[in-house]
Amino acid sequence: MTDMNDRPTDLALRYVEGELDAQELARFEKAHLSDPELRAEVDAARQVIRGLKSMGEEDLRGRLREADAELSSRAKTALLRSRNPWWRWAAAAVLVLGAGLWWTQRDTPQRLAAEFALEERGLPVLMGADSRMDEIMNAYKQGDLATTEQLIEQARATSPGNDTLAYFAGMVAMRQGLHTLAVKELVQVDASSVFAERAGYQLAIASLNRGDVTAARILLDALTQSRDPQLAVRARDLLDRL
Amino acid sequence: MVFSFRIAQTADHAWYRALYVEHRAAFVNWAVKHFDAREEEARDAFQEAVIVLHRKVGEGGLDDLKCSLRTYLFAVGRNQLLSRMRVVNRQVEIDEAFHGIPDECLVTKDMDEQERQATAELVRQRLSELKPDDRRVLELYYLEGREMDAVAEVMGLKNRNVAKKKKHFALQRLIALVRPAKLLKV
């Protein structure tokens, strides 16, 4: 096993990953010129990282090929269906029946909000430096909303602009069915926050519960570009139903 | 579309897959119409364009991208397609000139590519010898392309700095395992 005080390896890695500060970099580059051991360490680090990145590219290539196979299979199924006349009549019959059924059981904003609700399970309890947040998460996970609310209020007295607290205050309000309050809390989550996209989605759900379909559409439309593919797909599916 | 590019810097492989699915059909239609390419060739070229984007973003080489991601992907895809078509045409000429000589005598793989594959294979073998936690942190970051924040969340670590340290130590251990194989120029 490697000794973690292995300085040349440590330095070489930090150099290759671009993590040295200006002073360290200048010292390192000077030493690098005259120290063959250090040069070998840099080569080793570069090769291993290159190897890992190649594996990453192979993984991505595999996913793109899978996507290709999926799309081709869908296209073939669609083609077969389009060539089958009885299927068209059956589809027409289903459409007529479906239209009747839709009229009686059509999607209302509230029904869609319930169907597309995204459960927020809470953050991992780390038993670490932030015991205040651990307490909040414990209460939240146990469904003790009154205590969660109280603890969040106490925490906010010392950290008024905290995004995590605003997000979970919004989630507590959502769970209590207080959708207007949820909107007020969730809009406080800053766009740069790690919770920004999830808060955006929850805002859309809260807006639907309030019957504000326009606001929900705008929020969901932005989320279709989310870096979280599951959230993007969910937003797109919900938009399709609106 | 600076917004799109900002997403790409923090994207994982699922995001690149979604990007590929979104633009693939348009690229294939365009390539078939304008370059008389076969659909299969166009798809391969577009896959490679997405891989190139992934690589460039990882290297931080697209910081001054002045066009949309779609325009970038179409430009890279077109270059990939044209160079592949040139290689095929050249291969036809070679085949005609060296008729009867087995392919393996005529076509040699690029040495860099061979070396890259050999290193990747060695790293793959040694990676499986690491402790599960070490292996996971490297897989999440390098193979799945996750951000440090996401790595920390998936592994239940306190924050990105803890995840970064864990990745650093795991890399040191991996280098120590790879080094004795003498593939490295040590």
- What pLDDT is recorded for position B134? 94
The count of other CB atoms within 10 Å of the CB of residue A84 is 12
Burial class (CB in 10 A: 0-12, 13-18, 19+), A7: exposed
Rounded to an integer, the average pLDDT of B15-40 is 89
Same-domain status, A13 and A96: yes
Answer yes or no: is B100 within a domain: yes
Q: Which of A104, A134, A158 is the last residue of a domain?
A: A104
Answer yes or no: is B174 within a domain: yes
Lowest mean pLDDT among A29-33, A67-71, A104-108, A172-176: A104-108
> Residue A10: which of B49, B165, B73 has the closest Cα?
B165
- What pLDDT is recorded for position A3? 42
Closest residue in A to B113 (Cα–Cα): A54
Closest residue in A to B129 (Cα–Cα): A1
Interface size, chain A vs chain B, as Cβ–Cβ contacts under 8 Å: 139
Has residue B100 got a pLDDT over 80? no
B159 Cβ contact partners less than 8 Å away, ≥ 6 residues apart: B149, B152
B10 SS3 class: coil
Same-domain status, A131 and A229: yes
Answer yes or no: is A109 within a domain: no
Confidence class for position B43, pLDDT limits 50, 70, 90: very high
Contacts of A56 in chain B (CB under 8 A): 13, 54, 142-145
Nearest to B14 among A43, A47, A229 (CB): A229
Q: How many CA within 13 A on the CB side of residue A31?
A: 16
A226 in Cβ contact with B19 (< 8 Å) = no
The count of other CB atoms within 10 Å of the CB of residue A57 is 21
Same-domain status, A154 and A85: no
Has residue A120 got a pLDDT over 70? yes
Q: Within A3-144, where are the H helices?
A: 7-16, 22-34, 36-82, 85-105, 109-115, 131-141
**How many angstroms separate the CA atoms of A54 and A60, rounded?**
10
- What pLDDT is recorded for position B119? 79
The reply to whether residue B123 touches residue A56, judged by beta carbons under 8 angstroms, is no
Same-domain status, B34 and B100: yes
Residue A124 contacts B, CB cutoff 8 Å:
yes
Confidence class for position A127, pLDDT limits 50, 70, 90: low
Closest residue in B to A193 (Cα–Cα): B149
The reply to whether residue B117 touches residue A9, judged by beta carbons under 8 angstroms, is no
Same-domain status, B138 and B165: yes
Same-domain status, A51 and A156: no
Same-domain status, A163 and A97: no
Q: Which of B77, B105, B133 is the last residue of a domain?
A: B105
- What pLDDT is recorded for position B92? 56
Nearest to A225 among B7, B149, B178 (CB): B7
Rounded to an integer, the average pLDDT of A48-61 is 88
Same-domain status, A179 and A137: yes
Token representation of residue B80: 């990939």
Confidence class for position A152, pLDDT limits 50, 70, 90: very high
Same-domain status, B128 and B82: no
The reply to whether residue A67 touches residue B17, judged by beta carbons under 8 angstroms, is yes
Owning domain of residue A197: 114-241
B61 in Cβ contact with A18 (< 8 Å) = no
Answer yes or no: is A195 within a domain: yes
Instruction: Choose the mutation target among B1, B44, B119, B157 for the interface with A, i.e. most A CBs under 10 Å.
Output: B119
Q: Which of B60, B87, B105 is the last residue of a domain?
A: B105
Confidence class for position B102, pLDDT limits 50, 70, 90: very low
Higher pLDDT, B2 or A108: A108
Owning domain of residue B92: 2-105
Same-domain status, B16 and B92: yes
Confidence class for position B20, pLDDT limits 50, 70, 90: very high
Chain B: nearest CA to A79, how far in angstroms?
A: 16
Has residue B65 got a pLDDT over 70? no
Same-domain status, B42 and B64: yes
Has residue B8 got a pLDDT over 60? no
Same-domain status, A80 and A118: no
Chain B: nearest CA to A101, how far in angstroms?
A: 33
Q: Which of B59, B86, B105 is the last residue of a domain?
A: B105
Same-domain status, B129 and B90: no
Residues 183-222 of chain A with CB under 8 A from chain B are 194
Say how many domains are in chain A: 2
Residue A157 contacts B, CB cutoff 8 Å:
no
Higher pLDDT, B61 or A77: A77
Lowest mean pLDDT among A65-74, A133-142, A222-231, B83-92: B83-92
List, for residues B139-176, the tens digit of each pLDDT value: 998 888 888 888 999 899 999 999 999 999 999 999 99
> Residue B81: which of B22, B41, B23, B36 has the closest Cα?
B41
Same-domain status, B86 and B159: no
Contacts of B50 in chain A (CB under 8 A): 60, 64
The reply to whether residue B172 touches residue A225, judged by beta carbons under 8 angstroms, is no
Same-domain status, A124 and A225: yes
Has residue B106 got a pLDDT over 50? no
Same-domain status, A159 and A44: no
Say how many domains are in chain B: 2
Q: Which of A104, A138, A161 is the last residue of a domain?
A: A104
Confidence class for position B186, pLDDT limits 50, 70, 90: very low
For residues A201-228, one letter each, b for 16 or more C-beta atoms within 10 angstroms of the residue's C-beta and e for the rest, the string is bbbbbbbbbbebeebbbebbeebeebbb
**What interface predicted TM-score (ipTM) does this complex get?**
0.76
pTM here?
Answer: 0.52
Answer yes or no: is B125 within a domain: yes
Answer yes or no: is A154 within a domain: yes
Has residue B49 got a pLDDT over 90? yes
Positive or negative CA dihedral for A185, A188, A193, A197? Answer: positive
**How many angstroms separate the CA atoms of A21 and A23, rounded?**
6
Same-domain status, A53 and A152: no
Residue in this structure with the two tokens 């997405």, named with its chain if needed: B50
A215 Cβ contact partners less than 8 Å away, ≥ 6 residues apart: A203, A204, A207
Same-domain status, B48 and B126: no
Residue A33 contacts B, CB cutoff 8 Å:
no
Answer yes or no: is B185 within a domain: no
> What is the residue-wise DSSP string for B16-84?
HHHHHHHHHHHHHHHHHHHH---HHHHHHHHHHHHHHHHHHHHHTTTTT--S-HHHHHHHHHHHHHHHH
Mean pLDDT (chain B) is 79
Residue A54 contacts B, CB cutoff 8 Å:
yes
Same-domain status, A97 and A137: no
Chain A: nearest CA to B107, how far in angstroms?
A: 23
Higher pLDDT, A86 or B173: B173
| B141 DSSP assignment | I
Answer yes or no: is A151 within a domain: yes
A168 in Cβ contact with A152 (< 8 Å) = yes
Answer yes or no: is B35 within a domain: yes
- What pLDDT is recorded for position A235? 92
> Residue B170: which of B140, B133, B144, B143 has the closest Cα?
B133
The reply to whether residue B156 touches residue A124, judged by beta carbons under 8 angstroms, is yes
Residue A236 contacts B, CB cutoff 8 Å:
no
Has residue A75 got a pLDDT over 80? no
Chain B: nearest CA to A95, how far in angstroms?
A: 28
Q: How many CA within 13 A on the CB side of residue A4?
A: 6
Has residue A135 got a pLDDT over 70? yes
Lowest mean pLDDT among A86-95, A197-206, A232-241, B42-51: A86-95
Give the CATH number, domain containing residue A177. 1.25.40.10
Chain A: nearest CA to B96, how far in angstroms?
A: 32
The reply to whether residue B117 touches residue A54, judged by beta carbons under 8 angstroms, is yes
Confidence class for position A134, pLDDT limits 50, 70, 90: confident
Same-domain status, A34 and A125: no
Same-domain status, B92 and B117: no
Has residue B121 got a pLDDT over 80? yes
**How many angstroms separate the CA atoms of A75 and A68, rounded?**
10
List, for residues A170-203, the tens digit of each pLDDT value: 999 998 888 888 888 888 888 888 888 889 999 9
Give the CATH number, domain containing residue B141. 1.10.10.10
